[in-house]
Structure 1
Amino acid sequence: MIILTTLPLFWIMISASRGGHWGAWMPSSISAFEGTCVSIPCRFDFPDELRPAVVHGVWYFNSPYPKNYPPVVFKSRTQVVHESFQGRSRLLGDLGLRNCTLLLNTLSPELGGKYYFRGDLGGYNQYTFSEHSVLDVINTPNIAVPPEVVAGREVEISCMVPDNCPELRPELSWLGHEGLGEPAVLGRLREDEGTWVQVSLLHFVPTREANGHRLGCQAAFPNTTLQFEGYASLDVKYPPVIVEMNSSVEAIEGSYVSLLCGADSNPPPLLTWMRDGMVLREAVAESLYLDLEEVTPAEDGVYACLAENAYGQDNRTVELSVMYAPWKPTVNGTVVAVEGETVSILCSTQSNPDPILTIFKEKQILATVIYESQLQLELPAVTPEDDGEYWCVAENQYGQRATAFNLSVEFAPIILLESHCAAARDTVQCLCVVKSNPEPSVAFELPSRNVTVNETEREFVYSERSGLLLTSILTLRGQAQAPPRVICTSRNLYGTQSLELPFQGARE
């Protein structure tokens, strides 16, 4: 149903206490048709202590200040008015009863503007109220169409015209409503205690075919030639429907392919070509081509066209099959695992037809599948021996591609038995060989001397890394006495190992 507050006409009030202060009440805005009349309702008040014998009043146009010499619309003392209002204005209210209602006849556009009332009680008791009423002289009915007209949802369209001329009453009729619905006339309604409108309603359920339909409303004044018409074109919103689409397409690598998608909707749809969730092309349009020049293996797959607007969506798919050799296999990256863990390695590719996939290490086949796009290798309880380079190979009748990847197994340090000390003349040299991942720290302890030498002391220790092996050499000079006991300790985040290094050979 129509909500009349969509045309607010607020009453202006200086004081809410009647009889205590200067105050005026009138609609802040009012409208009427060109050639008709308008009655501007007005009341005013003044302090109780003023007891004038006669109350006079003046209506001004577009300014409340007499010193600016604004056009006089009506003046009760002299009846002298501006030429624009001669024979067109009169007071309907009784100023003695504090009613300042004004009537304007034969309205024309230049009479549109602000109207101010000034109370004149004699002497210095004159007051021009800053509050005013704005007159809008119109020549078309107001057709109120909801912000959204959606296919399949009932809609209410209203025709509203001002009815503020007591001498001429408008009659409303609809134009071009055939097939839409029968109008319901609400009649004359009062708004916010001062202005009036005539309202007629039209209810119907629009279809997408009604989009663009021109609907009119006519306001006629009986026994006159005055007649006013207003029109509105229906903007019916409806969701997209895809009406054009390729069927499945087969192509050889390097050929040209053009895919078409077309849809009907309002507003126009956003058409999007997608593949595997990736947007390839999109535009707000009724149709959209996706051109693929010299198609490659990467363009094989299912393509989707999505048509959407704010009211819904539609989608269809087309499959493009491109015959091609396998892509370079992809694996789940360089794998890092801790000794004892289970490692799962996935190798995948795309080709048409599907390939033979093989994973091997050092020419030893570890896993293989035929006509599959994925191959998974499971290595339970990995050991340091599983550390190294692996290969995944994919092949079909169009070619072969391979990818290498590394498995890094991390474990606690292991001091190899080849570690030892040797004394020569006054020099002792100790070799500590450690296998570890990640690289460990190494320290040499001399318990009898309560000394610990680590690898950062380059004057005594030299270290060299080769693969998983770290070799640290401790050199002690000036050892005239019996060789000391030497303990090698190696540690990383997974553990610590110590070994007392045996002496080999004899001091010369």
Structure 2
Amino acid sequence: MGIRTHLLWICYVFWTSEAWDVYLPSSIKALERSCVYIPCSFDYYRNPPTRPSRVVWYHWYPNDVIDQYRGRTRVTTGNKRCSLYISRVTSFNHGEKLYPWVDPENVGRITHRFFDKTVRIEVVEDPEITITVQCSADHTCYRNSPTLSLNIPPKDQHQTENSLGGGVYRVTKTTDFTIMKQDETIECTVQHHGGKRARRTETSIPLRVKAKHLMNHCSWQVYHLIGFICVYISKRKL
């Protein structure tokens, strides 16, 4: 095979493989002893599959489906879907990389290198718990609202201000926070115009819970005319 022929072959393989794409997360968390649903879809504009509903998931990188998944999986196909459902997740699944192959008997690796895009399973022993934290302060200094701050990572924090009537306004900061250890301490600090400050702390509910809980603790502090701090924590189990 000459150099020119070799280059043409490489270009053909690249041109062919670019006609396909598979969409799936690079990693996904799965709760031990529970199940996990891995969303997957694909698309193409050349070299269509003969049987688009034929989807096989592989472990990286044998030539066949591994035995430990037999009887525990179900594949959702149709409308260019290739999603995988796995039941009874175990610790042995942790760190495993999987990938789908659409119509493997007819769509070869020259058409698309399916094994180049995998999803890694991350098995967790305990369910994650995300709480919604709200820190509020009432004030009557409308043109100079107090500043609120939290001692937790600023993930999607947003702040609002509403009138309560009678010249009183409430400024509220809201954010979501994932509890990573027992008895997380959450601290809200408010600084009013003129320098007066107040601080309120709350300890989160332990990680292992069986029901939803709400805590609503408020404390009054007097600054200028009025100052009010309220720390509100709600919990949702993921």
TM range (shorter): 0.3 to 0.5
Larger radius of gyration, structure 1 or 2? 1
TM-score by length of structure 1 reads 0.24
Higher relative contact order (CA 8 A, sep 6+): 2
More helix by share: 2
TM-score by length of 2: 0.47
